[in-house]
Amino acid sequence: MGTITDERIAGVLRTSVSIGVISGDHEQAGGTVSQLRDLGFDAQVMPPEQGLDAIRMGACRVFIVDSAMPGMDGFTFLEEALGLDPGAYVILVTPQYDVDSAIDAIKRGAYDFLHKPVDLARLERTLDELVDVFSQRTHIRSLEDSLFQNSQFRGIVGKSPAMLEVLDFAKKVARHYSNVLITGPTGSGKELVARALHDLSPVANARFAVCNCSALVDTLLESQLFGHIRGSFTGANDSRPGLFEYANNGTVFLDEIGETSASMQAKLLRVIQNREIQRIGSPEIKKVNIRLIAATNRDLRAEVKAGRFREDLFYRLSSIEIRVPGLTERPEDIPVLVRHFLKKYSEMYDKNLRGLTRRAQIAVLQHHWPGNVRELENVIAGAAITTTADFVDLADLPESIRKPQKPLRTLTGNPSLLNLHESRRIHIQRVLEMCRGNRVHAAKVLGIGRTSLYRFLKNSGECVGKQT
């Protein structure tokens, strides 16, 4: 039995990809189709509306489109196509090349931007890149489904090394801690980590009480935590236990502990040292057996040096310290979080949201997310409410997300002297810089496969970026 050659495999894979050629010049389009068929591709001429219908029916996802056509031009088709299917691949062809249009096309989601007359060898290489992408798609989808299921742990969503390290450490200390300090920026998920610690601890079946220390003035905070007896202050019409009594033999989570006053810090230190409390207005001392988890977005070491936080309380709390990274430190978690929140709010609002359009994906990945996971969830929740389509588009996102926060540097020299390859190289370098050299993240921003990006960098002699 003979072996199947690479050429035969390539031929089979090429025929599995349908290509629509859209141009105002029907004779030229027919010639392009004949050349593609000679190379083994399945291609046909179609008008723009037929191409959009093919996308709706899932019959075609690759298009070679003339940028200048009567009626619907190539850029309008690109926008419509990606709105229908973010996974569509549009190669724009232009009679007059200029670098600004090339960069704009790529930023708006075009897979490539070619100049007439089209270099057939160049077009063949581009289409073979897409064949590679399509041949791996089924396998990648199954892997993504598996990763998505495995990226959720006790309500925490993330697969980045930074988050996996946090979860691994939490699992190790959960059975043994008495006090834990969780640090990290606002909105990064500190409370979720606290709940995971409780759920994995020996007191998982006991109560988990939460108190936001920054939301209450001292007198109310003391009553909330320690309780009070009737008549101890104006409005105390009955006696009530505090959270320390309520969660006795369980866990108390004190969020934003860095906002507490010096007098409250002294009272908390007594709870930690002696495991005892007093209700406001009561001489009775009660013993409590609690696990205490505190969280802050402040640098408590700096607060101690500045005299704003008790040193003895800090060391009592931080015998075990867990730092939760912000989204800027784990950008690879953003797509997983987006998928998680889309599923959550699709069910909540009875919608069938399938994902983000490519341009919306680019905007989300480029945003700095100062509010971290909480901000991302709010953005997806709002988009889920406003969108009327199956895909969340750029217009469904807040203005702060739609507009880039960091303007790209202008090109040096005369742009008209740059060829297409050079303009693509410059744009890819810019995206790599924005992604801090992470090639996986950069490929997602560019809307191309990781293999395609590696191949382009290799052919360009570039060594920029981490291969992660």
Helix H or strand E encompassing 219: helix 218-226
283: Cβ contacts below 8 Å, ≥ 6 apart = none
pLDDT 10s digits, 18-70? 899 999 888 888 999 999 999 888 999 999 999 998 888 778 889 999 988 88
Helical pair 334-348 and 120-150, crossing angle rounded to 10 deg: 70
Counts of helices then strands in the chain (DSSP H, E): 20, 18
| Stretches in the chain below the pLDDT threshold 70 | 1-13, 15, 135-153, 404-423, 430, 433-437, 441, 444-445, 447, 449-451, 458-468
Question: How far is the C-alpha of 242 from the C-alpha of 427, rounded, in Å?
Answer: 58
pLDDT at 349: 93
What tokens appear for 198 in the block?
Answer: 């409780």
Evaluate whether 468 touches 444 at the Cβ level (below 8 Å): no
H helices of 42-116, in order, are 48-56, 74-84, 99-107
What tokens appear for 107 in the block?
Answer: 């930023």
DSSP characters over 307-321: TSS-HHHHHHHTTSE
**Local structure of residue 5 (DSSP, 8 states):** P
Question: What fold does the segment set 1-150 form as a domain?
Answer: Rossmann fold (3.40.50)
Question: How far is the C-alpha of 174 from the C-alpha of 77, rounded, in Å?
Answer: 54
367: Cβ contacts below 8 Å, ≥ 6 apart = 400, 401, 405
What tokens appear for 52 in the block?
Answer: 């959009």
pLDDT at 300: 96
Q: So where are the chain's domains?
A: 1-150, 161-327, 330-402
Question: How far is the C-alpha of 430 from the C-alpha of 417, rounded, in Å?
Answer: 19
What tokens appear for 190 in the block?
Answer: 């500190």
- Which one, of 146, 153, 156, lies nearest residue 377 by Cα? 156
Question: How far is the C-alpha of 173 from the C-alpha of 291, rounded, in Å?
Answer: 12
Question: What fold does the segment set 330-402 form as a domain?
Answer: Helicase, Ruva Protein; domain 3 (1.10.8)
Region for 58 from its dihedrals, namely left if φ exceeds 0, alpha if ψ lies in -120 to 50, beta otherwise: left
The side-by-side arrangement of strands in the sheet containing 291-296 is: 208-212, 251-255, 291-296, 179-183, 321-323
103: Cβ contacts below 8 Å, ≥ 6 apart = 423, 426, 427
Question: How far is the C-alpha of 344 from the C-alpha of 342, rounded, in Å?
Answer: 5
Domain 161-327 CATH (choose: 2.60.20.30, 3.40.50.720, 3.40.50.300, 3.50.50.60) = 3.40.50.300
- Identical fold for domains 161-327 and 330-402, yes or no, is no
Q: Which amino acid is at 194?
A: A
Q: What share of the chain is helix, strand, coil (3-state, %, to 5)?
A: 50, 15, 35
pLDDT at 119: 87
Question: How far is the C-alpha of 224 from the C-alpha of 152, rounded, in Å?
Answer: 33
pLDDT at 1: 35
Q: Which amino acid is at 111?
A: Y
Evaluate whether 384 touches 353 at the Cβ level (below 8 Å): yes
Other beta carbons less than 10 A from residue 355's beta carbon: 17
Q: Are strands 112-115 and 240-241 parallel, antiparallel or unpaired?
A: unpaired
- Map residue 118 onto helix, strand or coil: coil
